[in-house]
A = this chain, B = another copy of it.
Amino acid sequence: MWSNAKDRALRDRAAQVIPGGMYGHQSTVLMPEGFPQFFTRSDGTRITDADGNTYIDFMCAYGPNLLGYQHPRVMAAIERQQALSDTSTGPSPLIVDLAEALVGMISHADWAMFCKNGSDATTMALMTARAYRGKRKVLVATGAYHGSLPWSTPRPGGVVAEDRAHLIYYTYNDPQALADAVKQAGDDLAGIFATPFRHDTFHDQTLPDAEYARAARRLADEHDALLVVDDVRAGFRMSRDCSWETIGVRPDLSAWGKVLGNGQPISALLGNDRAREAAANIFVTGSYWFSAVPMAAALETLRIVRETDYLEHMQIIGELFRSALTGQATGYGFTLRHTGPETLPMVLFEEDPDFRLGYAFCAAAMKRGVYLSPYHNMFINAAMTEADIAETLEATGAAFEEIKQNRDTLQPSQVLMALMEA
């Protein structure tokens, strides 16, 4: 019997010692009522909350879980390196091995720099683009998330206008909007940022239009600016290469994170020779950027990425999830919009402008052991099996039945409505 008594007690304590009770993307403040905030176990495809309820986890730590939690080969690499050295007075030789491994795998990359947050990698890309020719303007798509530092955080608190003084916004997938933004930058264009596909929170996802991507490449070249693909969220879930390699467009820089060490804290900026000198001229660092254990985990993760069918397996599982869930919804009288790559699905309900159906559906699935998000793209991991999807469908079938019964009494999330009005 599902209960959240311990989770509620922990929330009461957290409210005393953490501002707002929790912060950041893992706060459940926007999730449906009753979603667990605290987890005690993570294993394979499953997470267990503080009350002992176990879920099939379609969030995968918001990305990092690529191969399954506690993957035995990655854990063995972690333990081996932990016995030798981790955070020390200099990097281990693994930093060279890891840079070589990435340069060998990512077609556009001639070099790598490692850091901790996705925001570190995107900010290093921003700085490198500006250092490249001393120009300042950077183009980003409206609504795109490139991290939570002042230049890109989605909320206004603590941000001053100057933090974004030289950003110009364009509409994703719109070559004309991009050309207009380039024109606006004049002779001051430093770089163009793009996510590999449009994966904005609360929105249907859109795959990249090849014409738009080629226009971004061409405009960057024409203006001697750098093209940046932010692969922090999608990396290694669309390709074993940079995600835009699937549409034949190579950036100068790409930002990576999340999956690199299958959950170990490591992110990276990769670049080509054109951007090398600029990257060498920025001063960026962090206390734990040279730690060896995350690099050992990343080397093993990359080996598995190269040597196994993890990607094709995730694509099969993701496609099964998509087709089965969409079909199941139809049977209960609902229409789903299941968008984006099959390995990074966004699932929204048709005719659900205030998300009340999505919220009620995810809450009902959660209480039956399946952790889904009603507003953020989800993540498939390589440990998922057809049996996991079958078990998921049992829960989602019951959840569709429940919201079909309750449909007329459902209310929208008040927290969500307050956010949307703000």
Contact = CB atoms under 8 A, between A and B. Distances in A.
Interface of A: 10, 13-14, 16-20, 22-26, 28, 36-42, 47, 49-50, 57, 59-65, 69-70, 75, 78, 82-93, 95-96, 99-100, 103, 110-113, 116-120, 123, 126-131, 136, 148-150, 153-155, 157-160, 162-163, 165-166, 232, 257-258, 263-265, 267, 271, 276-291, 294, 371
A149 B284 CA distance: 7
Nearest to A78: B82
A82 B20 CA distance: 28
A208 to B, nearest CB: 23
A303 to B, nearest CB: 17
B153 A38 contact: no
Given A10-B96, A96-B13, A160-B130, A284 B39 contact: no
Contacts of A131: 157-158
Given A85-B42, A120-B117, A157-B278, A285 B148 contact: yes
A226 B36 CA distance: 34
Contacts of A95: 14, 18, 38
A125 B113 CA distance: 26
A205 B73 CA distance: 47
A189 B59 CA distance: 41
Given A19-B113, A131-B158, A157-B282, A87 B65 contact: yes
Contact of A283 (B17, B62, B148): B148
A304 to B, nearest CB: 17
A288 B271 contact: no
A88 B281 contact: no
A176 B65 CA distance: 53
Contact of A285 (B14, B26, B49, B88): B26
